Amino acid sequence: MSVRIAIIGAGIMGADHARIVSEDLPGAVLQVVCDASQTRARAIAEDCGAADISTDPLQTIRREDIDAVIIASPDQTHAPLSLAAIEVGKPVLCEKPLSQNSGECRAVIDAEVARGRRFVQLGFMRRFDPSYRDMKAALADGSLGQAIMMHNTHRNVEAPANFTGQMAITNSAPHEFDVARFILDADYTAISVFQPSGVDASKTGAPVFMVLETDRGHIVNIEVNNNAAYGYDVRGELVGERGSILLNAPVHTRRNAHLMAFEHYPSDWRPRFAEAYRLQNKAFVNFVRTGTFPPIASDSWDGYCATLVAEAGVEALRTGKRVSLDPMVRPPLYNAR
Ligand code: ISE
């Protein structure tokens, strides 16, 4: 039988998940689209052929005709809705971040530990991106030697109106916090955050530059510039003792004209990471069917780690000081990789 999925939140990511479920996920059906706005839920349900719509997320999660839930509603709803799904024993694919508050992440971990299994697959989709996967494989095959550093750049065209420098750390950078930690197989021990002088820090989308240290001695730097103007651009380079590997974005053509060469940039992250989203959602359906957590996916523990470092980053930005992170003890449930 097909996995019957409810999507909660019919904004930019909810709409994308609805399209993926209806067009690209054999073995899954889009059963319900739920959104606070009935009009928005209906529009997406009609576009993607969902069986039903709802405006009540808790009731949606509890419906008997729902096997699994994709949470794509605003950040502050992620943890409470994940908890509601765990309570009724339904697997969740939750958009990042799990919460912007580490205490709330801890509550999700406690609920999973109490039930003795993982329910939440977290939407840090970059782990599924072919270019990051190549990077991880290159490190594993030994050709680069030991990893030393990882450079990361994360640029959006224009920050949403509510975006502060703090949200560059709590909403954008968690992607890098997670994927660098995954590739390097290390935990962070400290973070320092810098802002170019002359930048109005209260301005929407003020850029930040972060330097992180890991418990295996790596240095990781991350530039987040949410007002880069020219396009959505994510770059990364892993530097090892004997070589380095750079991410390539999927670019299909290069145009030559007027004595210049041009390549296309997408206007946001969806085209850049389309394959990552598809593979991530496919892994989620497999998780729902088999009960086996996808080996490379992020879980609640990974979400907690990303939020802890984001909280430390916010403090580092506020105080201008390097902030250390305490070593963490991973509950055995999350060792099962
Ligand atoms: C947004 O919320 C995302 O998740 C995107 O992947 C990221 O690139 C963007 O910076 C975030 O604001």
Closest CA to 277 of 126, 172, 88, 61: 126
What is the tens place of the pLDDT at every residue in 7-46? 999 999 999 999 999 999 999 999 999 999 999 999 999 9
Q: Which token pair is 300?
A: 């609640």
Set out the domains of the chain in order of their start, with CATH numbers: 3-126+275-298 (3.40.50.720), 129-269+304-335 (3.30.360.10)
Instruction: Give the burial string for 99-137 (b: 16+ CB within 10 Å, else e).
Output: bbbbebbbbbbebbeeeeebbbbbbbbbbbbebbbebbe
202 pLDDT higher than 80: no
Distance, CA 174 to ligand 1 centroid (Å)? 9
Cβ–Cβ under 8 Å, residues 38 and 53: yes
Task: Select from 128, 171, 227 the residue to mutate for testing ligand 1; criterion: most ligand atoms less than 8 Å from CB.
Answer: 171
Closest CA to 225 of 286, 296, 167: 167
Q: Which token pair is 316?
A: 């580092």
CB of residue 269 inside a 6 A radius of ligand 1 = yes
Name the percent of the chain lying above pLDDT 90.
93
Please state the atom number of ligand 1 nearest to the C-alpha of residue 156.
10
Distance, CA 175 to ligand 1 centroid (Å)? 8
What is the tens place of the pLDDT at every residue in 270-286? 999 999 999 999 999 99
Cβ–Cβ under 8 Å, residues 40 and 48: no
What's the mean per-residue pLDDT of the chain?
A: 96
Rounded Cα–Cα distance for residues 125 and 276 (Å): 6
149 pLDDT higher than 60: yes
Dmax over CA atoms of the chain, in Å, equals: 64
**Hey, how many other C-beta atoms are within 10 angstroms of the C-beta on 305?**
23
